[in-house]
Chain A
Amino acid sequence: MIAFFTKILGRSWLGRVYKVDKPLFLVLALFFAATIGFNVLKLQTTPFFVWHMYSAKMPETATYPYFQITYNHGRVVNLQHTWNEPQKSYLYMPLSRYVYDKAGADTDPFRLYLETWLKKHPRFAGLTRDLTITQHELDSYPAWLRSYLSTVTGGPIDEVTVLQKKVSFDASGAPVEVSSDTVLHLPPYE
């Protein structure tokens, strides 16, 4: 039985790597073991081991939110194509974080986790100082948004308004606006 499995393993890809280059075998075996291990443990310690996108349930709700950015008195940012995603991500993800933090930075789960963790490991306090967003960084965000918007639109940005809209879908599948709240307003330059 052992001979049978040894033969199978020897013919496998890792078995062939082992025969050709033992250090390479070690590196690859560790990499694959880590990939499987960290997924089983549900532990994200590197950017590329855990593959859990869209694994959580996204329940249907009555309304669906999105941010609408208008600039220079009524011009709407409208990135239509999916291949615009890198730009779209930079416009909307930090914005979402900004709005969330403005509403109550004390509820940031990572900040809360870090505070609890540091009570147990006070020696690491110096190393974790730069790992959470400071008030100064949060306050710098609107200026950066104006600057990045200027890069994206290719012109000067005078005024910016961000609306958080909530939309429902009618029977024909068309969106129907339910609410619209201003979450950020950058007044024109004096």
Chain B
Amino acid sequence: MNDRQRIVLTRLVTGSLLFLLTLRLLEHATLSGLGTPPLFTVDLDLTYWIYKDSGVPDWLMQHHAAAVTFDICLFGSGLLAFFFPLRRAVILVFALLLFLYSMTFLLFVVDHMGQLNGFMLVLLPFLVAGNVRFTLAWEGMRYLTCLIYFLAFCWKTMWGDSFYYLHQGVSTFKYNLVDYLSLNPGTTMTAVYEWFLRHPWLLNTGEKSLVLVEGIMVVGLFTKRYDRWLIWGPVLIHGLTYFFSDVFYIELLVIDLSFLSIATLDRLAPFLSFGAAPGRIKKENILR
């Protein structure tokens, strides 16, 4: 990967993060919008034990000025990372603040949901100096993407038992959409959902199919030949669970960007490489 391609990729990733953070800002779900939430959970996760014991999250939540400053710095560093994509110090600040934001959000939401894991991990390769080493680190993100979906498949088929429960699809559907169906009678979506409830085998088949799609992602650990198809695996999983399980895992798609090919980055360059330094194109071939 050369400088130009790295710039395009950094802007794609930081731009996606800023978009998702803006959505959270509008949803009053960034630190300045949360007030002083008193309840929390650390569970058995040692990282949360250390973080809670540090006193940082309580201090941030109890001082509104600190929370507002935090949000300004979070968005400010994100914008700087977008406009100066080769400045690793800026990306480091953005990555740290994003990590702190994710930890604080999950601590006080009283559930350690997995969709923010992408926020915590996706910027780490961009901290690596040199385009050759960066390309290798970013390739690692692609392998991690394949691995985590395969691990999710293993959890459902080997370490957990949800795959073998034939009514899991319709049951999840009812648990997650019961409030929507109760509070919104007469809407088009309610009519669609009720139709699916009259045909539960479709929901159950869909759920099993999505688990199998998670399993298929293992192919990416052994070959890149099917990347143009594998990139759609997470999109399919999170797109369908968005509509059929009311689950907002779209945010995890930031790591799916690791499937983008060099050719795609080049195609996006006219739109996203403004201010780019002259590329070191020869180096890309070292790794390809």
- The one of B38, B121, B172 in contact with A48, judged by C-beta atoms closer than 8 angstroms, is B121
A57, B246: Cβ atoms closer than 8 Å: no
Report B204 CB to chain A, min CB distance, Å.
11
- The one of B37, B42, B132, B180 in contact with A94, judged by C-beta atoms closer than 8 angstroms, is B37
- B181 within 8 Å of A (CB atoms): yes
A131, B175: Cβ atoms closer than 8 Å: no
- A58 within 8 Å of B (CB atoms): yes
The distance in angstroms between the C-alpha atoms of A110 and B194, with both chains bound, is 38
Report B242 CB to chain A, min CB distance, Å.
5
The distance in angstroms between the C-alpha atoms of A49 and B53, with both chains bound, is 21
Report A74 CB to chain B, min CB distance, Å.
14
| Chain B positions 232 through 263: 1 when the CB is less than 8 Å from some CB of chain A, otherwise 0 | 00000000001100111010000000000000
Q: A55-B155, A64-B174, A131-B49 are in contact. Are A175 and B43 (CB under 8 A)?
A: no
- A20 within 8 Å of B (CB atoms): yes
Q: How many residues of B contact A (CB 8 A)?
A: 90
- A42 within 8 Å of B (CB atoms): yes
Report B172 CB to chain A, min CB distance, Å.
5
The distance in angstroms between the C-alpha atoms of A141 and B147, with both chains bound, is 39
Query: Quick one: closest B residue to A174, CB to CB?
Result: B194
Q: Can you list 28 pairs linking A and B with CB atoms under 8 Å apart?
A: A13-B136, A17-B136, A31-B140, A44-B43, A44-B45, A45-B47, A46-B46, A47-B103, A47-B106, A47-B116, A52-B160, A53-B113, A55-B159, A58-B172, A60-B171, A83-B23, A83-B248, A85-B246, A87-B28, A89-B109, A131-B49, A133-B40, A137-B39, A138-B39, A148-B35, A169-B197, A173-B197, A174-B185
